[in-house]
Structure formats: structure tokens, C-alpha cells
Amino acid sequence: MKKQAKIIRHFFILFPLLMLVGCWDMEEIDQRAYVLGIGLDKSDVKGFIKITYLISNPEAGSTQQGGGTSEPTHETITFNASSFIHSQNIANAVIAKAITYDILDFFIVSEELAKDKDFVRWMYDATKDREIRRDSKIIVTKENAVTFIDRNKPKLETRRHEYFETMFDHATEIGYVPDSKIHNFFRITEADADLFISAYATTKQDEVTARKNVDENFIAGNLNITGDTNPAQFLGSAVFKEGQMIGKLSVQETRLTLLLNKEAINPSFLVAFPDPFKKNYYITARFTQVTSPKITVDVSKPVPIIKVNLPIQAKILTDHSMVSYADDEKKRAELKNHIKKGFEQRINDLIKRSQEEFKADLFGFSLVARKHFLTIPQWENYDWMRSYPEADFSINMDITFTEFGRQSELPSYERIRD
């Protein structure tokens, strides 16, 4: 009994020590430098890239110790490195805390580097480091990444991680930019059948900007805006083929791409378009995709036949011509036909551009097509990248009106002016 009691006593003494072993390399939050974003630019040194770290300060704005601190919310550092893995140690020459990618949220890539055929070599380093999450995003910028990071200064969101998270979530929801996760970049690049699109942004406004600020002209830098605000614009998308940027899409083209892609987040967005009865006035409508498009792909012949039925709900929110569509069934039918033709024409134009300019599937139709093949070799022999540019399309829009604003009926303009 004494021997058994001794064993039990030693067990209870040693067992807590086993639990404490996992804490030997513990680091407090304030002992680590959290990289929120990594900027990637071309370097003048062959085989190297220019790395910019946007490091977030977790203590800034904290009230846990009786009030906020006077420390800055972030700091930046730029240098040459062979990779953004090797750069972690290089940064510690001037950053006292250990560099970590635990909360890394985005890669900011200059357009110049994204168009380089070797860009994909550096991006695949993200698959090696366990700290880098696959939901980190790729943002392509018109200017150098270091310039974008330096000039991007939010006025209301003092903590940068909150700004980028809020901005990206809302811009994705309304279709200004696509969901740009690096996981999809790797998946689509390796599948070798589709195109990948990522967010496009800039802090430099073009000399010639859009006069009307309607989405068909929207792309980062083209938005005409003034005021004391952050100059950063997240508008449109960059197009990648086989890991290399080959073009750009406007906001209108980005939204149409998302509407046609069954795997994309269903967007809901506002659009202004000319009134079919009075061309000088614009109607504002909210278009919502409640369900994914119905897509059929016939691959029984070398030239695929793709049919798309796209259901869209339309909520009419302005009526400057004061036609009062809610009261007139005939005019509602004409408005529906006007919207339907407008959508179908723009979609067909975008499909034609994808076939002739990009020469690859922009909409993820390959995910539907490959289901018709029993084996991977059969699918690879069909060669979707080669077959898609010759594909025949049939697009049908199914427009449903939900409501015509809070007050659907409007008095006639002539009656008001009488």
C-alpha cells in the first residue's frame, strides 16, 4: 500500500510538469511583430524582389491597461530579399521583435511584377510557410506596392487591419472587387483551365477620369472624386493566366464575371442606367443574385456548347423621368426588356473578349464541363484551354422585379409643374 501511495504521489507531482512543457517557447503578444500585409515589387537585383512589410501594432488603441497608448498603429519597412520567407530574418536587423505572419491578410503586388512571367515563382513561397493562411488575399496595384502602402492612409480607421478587412468585405459584397484568396490563385493556376481574377487598386487618380462615375467606366484610378479622404481606390480586377497577369476588368466586367461564376459569392449591387423612355435621365436599381446561374455544357463535340440562364432580382429605386413604372404594366414590360437586353449584350461582349483577348475561361465553366468526363486523362485530352475560345454560347437573363422603392407611386411631372 505504501509503495502504491508513493507511485500515486509521484504521478500527481510529475503530471503538472508535463502540461507545462508546452509553454517553454511561449511568446507574449507584445514580443512579436505582426505583419499585416506584404508588398511585392520588382527589384533591380536579378533573382531578388523588393519586400515591404506593413507591421501592425496590437497595443495601439488598447484600453486594457487603463487607457490607450501613444504608440503608432503601424510601421513599414522596405528592402531587397530573395523571398518573403528569407525576409523575416532580414527585417530583424532593424525590428526588435520577432517577425510573424500569423495575421497576414494580404499581398500587395505591383502591376509591373504581376505581369512578369517569373511572378508565380515567388508567390508559391506562400505554400511553404505554415504561418501563411490560404485565405490571404492578392491585391494588384497600378503603382509600386511600396507607394500604395505609403499613400494609403485611412482617415477614420486608425488600425490598418480593421480598414482592410472592412473595405475588402464590403467591396466584395457589392462586386467592386472579386474574392482574391491565394488558395484560388493556386487552385486555378494548377488546374490550367480557367483564369484567376484578383482585386485591382491604386492611390493615384488618372489625369483623365470618368465624368459620369458609372460602373461601366469604373476601374481603379478612373474614379473622379475630391475631398479630404484616403486616395486609395479598390475598383475592378486583374486577370491572371497561368500565374501571370494578362489584363484588367472594369467594375462592370468584374460584376458580370461574378454573376456567371457558380463558385463566386452572389453579389448585390446598385447600378445606374439610362431610362428607356427618357434617355437624359438615369434609373438606379439594385440587382441581386439570389440563386446561382443554371449552366449546361455540351462537350460531345470538339466545340463546346454552353447555355446559361441567369436569374436576377431587380429593385427600382429611382424614377427621374417620373414614368411611375409601378402603375403601368406595359411600361414595366418595356423596362424589363430594356434591362434584359442590356445585360445580355454586355455579357456577350465580355465572353467575346475572354475568347479573343484572354483566350481562356473567365467564368469557371470548366467546373461544369469536367463532370462529363469519367477520368482525368479524358478531361486533359479534351484540353479546355484550347476548346473554350471556340465555344458557342446562349445567354438568357431571367429578370424579376421585387419592388419600386418605398413609395412606388409618383405624381406626374406635368401635374406638379402645372
Q: Is the pLDDT of residue 381 over 80?
A: yes
Q: In which band, very low, low, confident or very high, does the pLDDT at 31 lie, cut at 50, 70 and 90?
A: low
Q: Is the pLDDT of residue 247 over 90?
A: yes
Q: Could you tell me the pTM of the whole model?
A: 0.85
Which cell numbers hold the place of 399?
A: 429578370
pLDDT of residue 282: 87
| Poorest-pLDDT segment among 2-16, 58-72, 197-211 | 58-72
Most confident range, picked from 221-225, 326-330, 349-353, 400-404: 349-353
pLDDT of residue 169: 86
Percent of the chain at pLDDT > 90 equals 41
Return mean pLDDT, the chain: 84
Q: Is the pLDDT of residue 22 over 80?
A: no
Contact 354, 362 (CB under 8 A): yes
Q: Is the pLDDT of residue 1 over 80?
A: no
pLDDT of residue 187: 92
Q: What is the pLDDT of residues 345-374, one digit of tens each?
A: 999 999 999 999 999 999 999 999 999 999
What is the C-alpha to C-alpha distance for residues 393 and 194, in angstroms, rounded to an integer?
Answer: 17
Q: What is the pLDDT of residues 256-293, one digit of tens each?
A: 999 999 887 788 888 888 888 888 888 888 999 888 89
Q: What is the pLDDT of residues 121-169, one digit of tens each?
A: 999 999 888 888 888 999 999 999 999 999 888 877 777 777 888 888 8
Q: Is the pLDDT of residue 415 over 90?
A: no
Rg (CA), the chain: 27
